Amino acid sequence: MRDEREEFLDLETTDGKIAFLEAVLFVSKEPVKPEKIMNFLNIRDVGDFEKLMVEMDDRCRKSDRGIIIKRSGGGLQFSTKQVMHDYLKDFFTKRMSAKLTIPSLETLSIVSYKQPVTIAEISDLRGVNSVGPVKNLLQKKLIKISGRKKVPGLPALYSTTKEFLLYFGLNDLSELPSLEELTEMFEEKEQPSLFL
């Protein structure tokens, strides 16, 4: 019986590296760190790795495939093309319970910009008790307890998680819009339109 490895493409070739990368991204549930792939394939130059990523991305985009490569959560993963989203929603008849409520979104916004933050600080900023939204976000694994504040009572400190990055399609927190950008966006929405 022939060894299956004999039939696999040479990992020294671009085709072999892309085939390996596709297989890794296909089986991985989490985003894969580029450094881990580079180490395995003995790629020392980041520029060489980026060329490989561009080639693989071109192959995905130029074909009739339903997937693309996405940088998310500090790593790489396959993602569905935008054009497939409505079809997938219909196919899986996804439950809408995954949507976040307004109180949960407000709480998550505060945590993402002020982290680490306590429930008392969140409640103070929102002007209402925030225990319910915090519990909801903990259950959805969008926030986590990241420590204790060194004040009387040692209240829990909350921070965002990797799932938060994945949920919103962010590579890292630096991709969040700045508070100035958010203020400008809200001010633009509040301006009355001349065409209404």
In tens, the pLDDT along 93-122 reads: 544 445 788 899 899 999 999 999 999 999
Angle in degrees, 0-180, between the axes of helices 119-126 and 102-114, rounded to the nearest 10? 120
CA atoms of 186 and 68, how far apart (whole Å)? 32
Q: What is the pLDDT of residue 92?
A: 64
Q: What is the pLDDT of residue 171?
A: 85
When pLDDT is averaged across residues 38-52 and rounded to a whole number, the result is 91
Residue 32: beta bridge partners? 76
Residue 102 neighbours by CB under 8 Å, 6+ apart: none
How is residue 139 written in tokens? 């259950």
Burial of 6 (0-12, 13-18, 19+ CB in 10 A): exposed
Q: In 3D, which of 113, 119, 144, 121 has the Cα closest to residue 132?
A: 119
Size of the chain in residues: 196
Q: What is the pLDDT of residue 87?
A: 80
- What is the chain's mean pLDDT, rounded? 83
Answer whether CATH 2.40.240.10 is correct for domain 96-190.
Answer: no
CA atoms of 163 and 52, how far apart (whole Å)? 27
Pick the CATH number of 4-90 from 1.10.10.10, 3.40.50.2300, 2.40.70.10, 1.10.260.40: 1.10.10.10
DSSP summary character for residue 69? E
State whether the Cα torsion 36-38-60-71 is positive or negative: positive
pLDDT exceeds cutoff 80 at 8? no
Work out the number of other CB atoms within 10 angstroms of the CB of residue 101: 11
The distance between the two most distant Cα atoms of the chain, rounded to a whole number of Å, is 76
Element (H, E) at 182: helix 179-190
Condensed to tens digits (0 to 9), the pLDDT of residues 118-135 reads 999 999 999 999 999 999
Which of the pair, 195 or 54, is modelled with greater confidence?
54
CA atoms of 49 and 66, how far apart (whole Å)? 23
Query: Where do you find CATH 1.10.10.10 in the chain?
Result: 4-90, 96-190
